[in-house]
Amino acid sequence: MPELPEVETVRRTLELAIIGETIDHVVAIYPKLITTPLDDFLTQIKNQTILKLDRMGKYLIFLTNDYALIIHLRMEGKFFIKTDEPILKHEHVIFKFKSGKELRYHDVRKFGTITLLSKDSYLESYPLNKLALEPKDLKPDVLFNKLKSKSIEIKAALLDQHIISGLGNIYVDETLFRSHIHPTRPASSLTFEDVETILKSAIYVLEKATSLGGTTIRSYTSSLGVHGRFQNELMVHMKQGEPCPICQTPIIKMKVKGRGTYVCPNCQD
């Protein structure tokens, strides 16, 4: 699924293609993806010009004259730029611009969400008002205090966007491997030094992945002609049975809170 580096890559790519475009109207083929009352959404979005593309955690933010369009890609959401082409099976919401260009939201699983909020208050409104800071903005003592009362596994805690934002399954695996911490360790058992290490590892992994355009794997491929290269840098994720790059012990796969998790049983304790 798209995590922070993939969403940032989409943001940067779309920024080159749609800044300055004015929305003529929106075609909602599968309206359940739109969380704002549909009639309000379709009326309010008309004649809005896209002025800026932003991102918070895994959320894309399209800023227009009067509104903030908040988009969560979830598992397999993608965007395509097209012009008067046949609508494909999984293209569910189409933004038609006055220029004739179209921005199409494609989502096989239909898990994504599209929300229109006032530009004046979107940061204080759900879902962004519940979102934690990203690793680069989060102080170790703040994260430590959040984790010390959590009995859940550290992997589950790092996946919780109310605790720390931007990390998903791939980058939590890579962060914990680099931190030499087992994903099933109770979050409350971590020392302050462990938390500092986790933050440093998360920042490194996310920045490296972003610089390489994210990760393109079976469960997530980008659109708009953008394909990430961080899959070539993965140390444990998707590496079941392969030797650990540090100690050569075979990487194992296990389940943590229902998520496929890759671990070196020797390096991570």
Active site residues: 2-3, 58, 259
Give bridge partners of residue 172 from the DSSP assignment: none
Quote the tokens at residue 146. 């959040």
Minimal CA–CA distance to 100: which of 29, 45, 22?
A: 22
Burial of 110 from C-beta contacts in 10 A (0-12 / 13-18 / 19+): middle
**String of DSSP letters for 18-58:** HTT-BEEEEEESSGGGB-S-HHHHHHHTTT-B--EEEEETT
Return all residues near 39 (Cβ < 8 A) that are at least 6 apart. Answer: none
Taking the C-alpha atoms of residue 163 and residue 134, their distance in angstroms, rounded to an integer, is 9
Q: Distance between CA atoms of 13 and 223, rounded to whole angstroms?
A: 9
- How far is 70 from 47, CA to CA, in rounded Å? 18
189 torsion bin: left (phi>0), alpha (psi -120 to 50), beta (else): alpha
Hey, which residues does 153 pair with through a beta bridge?
186
- Give me the residues paired with residue 256 across strands: 259
Please tell me the distance from the alpha carbon of residue 55 to that of residue 126, in angstroms, as a whole number.
15
What span, in angstroms and rounded, lies between the C-alpha atoms of 30 and 36? 13
